[in-house]
Structure 1
Amino acid sequence: MDGVTTGVRATARIVARDDGRGGTSLPVLAGEGPLALRRTRARGTEARVMLVGAMSGPLGGDHFTVEATVGSGALLRTGSAAATIALPGQAKGEARYDVRLDVAADGELHWLPEQLISAGGSELSVSTRIDLAPGARLVYREEQVLGRFGEQPGRLTSRLTVRLAGRPLLDQEVACGPGAPGGWDGPAVLAGHRAMGQLLVVRPEFQRHPAEARMLGESAALTPLAGPGVLVTAVAPNALRLRRVLNEVLETLA
């Protein structure tokens, strides 16, 4: 192979279905390589799945993909056992982490992973695409931490695209770290903060009773979308404070 090192390719797939008995079944729960899936104890009608990282990464050159499909009448709550840490690797080039989520009408997905940490020297591109049918429900959280303690961050690019009934509901991208467009750490963006996150909530009720745009303290804001959803964006000095802010907001929206 002439000394060429290639990264790891791995895919994890979750399919949740209404089991016809007031609960949710998981006919597909398959992970490979560093992406391991574990079903945990459920509550009520929901199924719960934990994403467990079996190896370090993603490292440079790796390409991870996580897919989840939620059928009509199913309720899936997904989290992760620990933070994901993007690290530099032996393979050249950036790492990629793709998330593909699909929720049918009357299906409900709570996607609540732990933080993504962009370690110094790493290069990671995250792409999240969510497709929602009319009447679908979604609670989606993402949190990014730029660098470990006392460390400068790596290069991180993250794009979130959400479509409802095939039409755009949200499409945004952020780039941080070395090589990112100028101003990412300036007063109009992160202003020196090292943790950033957002909470997206989509519910049919927001179509009839839209939420009002408002500031949430000094470093967070709630924005109604042009559809049945709201987006909360926040920055904080650290991951602990960021999680506290997003949890407080989620309780008010519950």
Structure 2
Amino acid sequence: MPTTADASSRPATPRTDRTTVRAYAAVRVERGPHGAPRLAELRSDVPVVLRLTGVTPGRTGASTDTNSLPTVTVHLVNGAAGPLAGDDLRLDVSVGGGVRLVLRSVAATVALPGHGPGPSRLVVDAEVADGGELDFGPEPTVVADGADHRMMTEVRLAATARLRLREEILLGRFGEPPGSILSTLRVDVARADDPGVVGAARTDGAPSGWTPLLRQELLLGPSVPGLQGPAQLGGARAVGSLLVAGPEWAGPGPEPTVAAGVSRLPLTGPGYLVSALADDAVTLRRRLTAALVPPAEDP
């Protein structure tokens, strides 16, 4: 049976200001003894509220087919408005071998200004074991006027793990100027000759046994020089990326492509990166998913 916990069952975290929120949530899935997917942990802390929304058993004899893996689907339900300035939110994700986790959200996240100290912050830390897959595609993050938000995502993949990671950002709500956002993405892949490295201690440099797959940092906001110029967003208010990684891309990846508002770049490693710009969230999503190999609609 899965274990579920809330704020009352975890160590208390000091709150430095009554107007700020500190929240920690976690989801851990693994393959059970008879091959069925197992939700080993589901921990929520308002406003980061997780809900189990589906379990699909895999097909016998097809465990190497990503579409046949036993699958657990979890949705993120925003339990409060925000994040606001000073809020510090964290989500830990762990996917075991031979199982797939589909992680979605039910609505966009709206980063808002507030009276707390410093920017709002969301940290996502994920690891995927050999033969496992993480499909993480939350709804867009909307950066409201006056907001200052930080998003940090770190993913560690075992040598035969798979990843599909989508990030979408909307600059401002309808008819308002944008706030500021700094998005940082780090993805590392374990060396095939160093088994069991998933879960090892990390350092800021090049951790032993790991190969960097992607380092990406995106700074957007009204103070960024030339943000709406042709060298950056060109007037677009929606920007996003879609990272696909897995053993099938360990050799030569798909051909690089550039089209109106979208590009696909093979990475030096098992994957490729799709980047897109658009005037709205719907067009952005279509451009990202159309560049997948093969093209697909978001589930």
Tell me the TM-score normalised to structure 2 length: 0.80
Q: How does 1:142-157 map to 2 (within 5 A)?
A: 142-157=167-182
How far off is 1:90 after superposition? Answer: 2.1
Judge conservation of contact 1:50–1:81 (CA < 8 Å) in 2: yes
Name the aligned partner's letter for residue 170 of structure 1.
L
2:28 paired with 1:15: yes
Change (3 A) 1:151 1:174: same
How far off is 1:4 after superposition? Answer: 5.5
How far off is 1:244 after superposition? Answer: 1.4
2-structure distance, mates of 1:178, 1:64? 24
Partner residue, 1:169: 213
2-structure distance, mates of 1:40, 1:100? 21
Partner residue, 1:93: 118
Q: How does 1:131-150 map to 2 (within 5 A)?
A: 131-150=156-175
Judge conservation of contact 1:5–1:90 (CA < 8 Å) in 2: no
2-structure distance, mates of 1:16, 1:111? 14
Deviant stretches of 4+, over 3 Å: 3-6
Deviates more, 1:223-232 or 1:6-15: 6-15
2-structure distance, mates of 1:98, 1:209? 32
2:43 paired with 1:30: yes
Identity %: 41
How far off is 1:105 after superposition? Answer: 1.0
Judge conservation of contact 2:153–2:185 (CA < 8 Å) in 1: yes
Q: How does 1:1-254 map to 2 (within 5 A)?
A: 5-44=18-57, 45-165=70-190, 166-180=210-224, 182-215=225-258, 217-250=259-292, 252=294
Change (3 A) 1:4 1:62: closer
How far off is 1:209 after superposition? Answer: 4.2
Tell me the TM-score normalised to structure 1 length: 0.94
How far off is 1:253 after superposition? Answer: 5.2
Q: Which has the larger radius of gyration?
A: 2
2-structure distance, mates of 1:104, 1:4? 38
Name the aligned partner's letter for residue 7 of structure 1.
T
Q: 1:186-229 CA deviation, whole Å, 9 max, x = no partner?
A: 211111100000000001111134211111x3110000000010
Q: What SS class does the counterpart of residue 246 from structure 1 fall into? A: helix
Aligned residues: 250
2-structure distance, mates of 1:23, 1:153? 45
2-structure distance, mates of 1:145, 1:84? 10
1-structure distance, mates of 2:185, 2:251? 25
How far off is 1:95 after superposition? Answer: 0.5
Name the aligned partner's letter for residue 285 of structure 2.
R
User: 5+ unaligned residues in a row in structure 2: which ranges?
Assistant: 1-15, 58-69, 191-209
2-structure distance, mates of 1:251, 1:90? 45
Report the aligned-residue RMSD. Answer: 1.5
Partner residue, 2:11: none
Q: What SS class does the counterpart of residue 240 from structure 1 fall into? A: helix
If each structure's strand is expressed as a fraction of its own residues, which one has the higher value?
1
User: 5+ unaligned residues in a row in structure 1: which ranges?
Assistant: none
